[in-house]
Amino acid sequence: MHLPRPPLPTYDDVAEAAHRLKGMAHRTPVLSSSTLDVLLGAQVFFKCENLQRMGAFKFRGAFNALVQFSEAQRQRGVIAFSSGNHAQAIALSARLLEIPAVIVMPEDAPLAKIAATRGYGAEVVTYNRFTEDREAISRRLATERGMTLIPPFDHAHVIAGQGTVAKELFEDVPHLDYLFVPLGGGGLLSGCLLAARELAPQCKVVGVEPETGNDGQQSLNAGHVVRIDTPQTIADGAQTQALGALTFPLIHAGVSDIVTATDAQLMSAMHFFAERMKIVVEPTGALGLAGACHGGVRLQGKRVGVVISGGNVDMTRYAQLLTAASAD
């Protein structure tokens, strides 16, 4: 017997998302480093979503979801639970579309993040991470206030929006052999797979997870979603416990491989980005490069795309991570 599965997004949804995002999201630049190319014996093209609005690709999926709200949904507003980039992406998109937004955040979230989310005009509701369940709180609020809950990755419109990252890269850089994509809950990776299947079917797409949080790798091997405890890693954007009902089947069907990166490898990649390329990349944003360098994939002579997924990192923490990296 088959369980009912929600309809999966397709490449057409990615193409439509690209239209909706035109003039709203930045078409981010593609950068390269001749030093790295010599080191790897490959040509590497970085898609720089650290330079996206609000500092990460998540703006694409959030805006693509909110812009499709009905008039009734717009009036009642949007709710999201996140302490990270999804919260800010929803808050910014809601402000641009004049939709009320509630973001559910842990009460011990960094003050800067709470302030940034409020700064975009969202109402922040805090909860105790140790005694309360954020999903339950969000669902209760959504029901009470008639708001629409937009999850961070397992949503067709979110996935389609994230897929525009790879769509732009394939349009700007033809004939890629590989594409390395940071992997948390899989919204970014599954969207990129939809774009690859249509625009670059020869390109092998590889997901990169933190070593301690390799639930995606385990799920791929098992052939079903494997859930893990919240992993300890500096890659806070990829501390997810499991892939979703939409993202798993898309990833299972299309991904070439899933590899992992250690925290030390992430710090060293961040250091490289700062020193050689003069760009600020958050730990999760460095997964793609770390995976390309250390994931055991032979890249000599290949054309390699790498998604830099975000650049939001507290400056004090950033300084600490760079210092720890250069001490190696």
Q: Which residues are catalytic?
A: 58, 83, 209, 213, 215, 309
Q: Nearer to ligand PLP by C-beta: 59 or 69?
A: 59
Do residues 148 and 142 lie in contact, with contact meaning Cβ atoms separated by under 8 Å?
yes
DSSP H helices in the chain: 11-21, 34-40, 58-66, 71-76, 85-97, 111-119, 134-145, 156-172, 187-199, 215-222, 247-254, 263-277, 287-294, 315-326
Sites of contact with ligand PLP (CB under 6 A)? 56, 58, 84-85, 152-153, 162, 182-189, 237-238, 240, 282, 284-285, 309-310
Residue number, 87 or 322, with CB nearest to ligand PLP: 87
CB of 21 to ligand PLP, least distance (A): 16
For ligand PLP, which is the closer residue by CB, 77 or 187? Answer: 187
Reference 79, options 111, 109, 121, 123; nearest CA is 123
Point out the residue whose Cβ comes nearest to ligand PLP: 310
Close Cβ partners of 145 (under 8 Å, ≥ 6 residues apart) = 76, 77, 79, 102
Q: DSSP per residue over 244-292, as a string?
A: -TTHHHHHHHH-SEEEEE-HHHHHHHHHHHHHHH-----TGGGHHHHHH
Torsional class of 175: left (φ above 0), alpha (ψ -120 to 50), beta (otherwise)? left
The CB-of-237 to ligand PLP minimum distance in angstroms stands at 3
**Nearest residue (CB) to ligand PLP, 237 versus 295:** 237
Residue with tokens 């349009």: 171
Q: Within 13 A of 243's CA, how many CA atoms are on the CB side?
A: 30
Shortest Å distance, C-beta 1 to ligand PLP: 30
Q: CB 257 → ligand PLP: shortest distance, Å? A: 16
Whose Cβ is closer to ligand PLP: residue 162's or residue 164's? 162
Cβ 27 to ligand PLP shortest distance, Å: 18
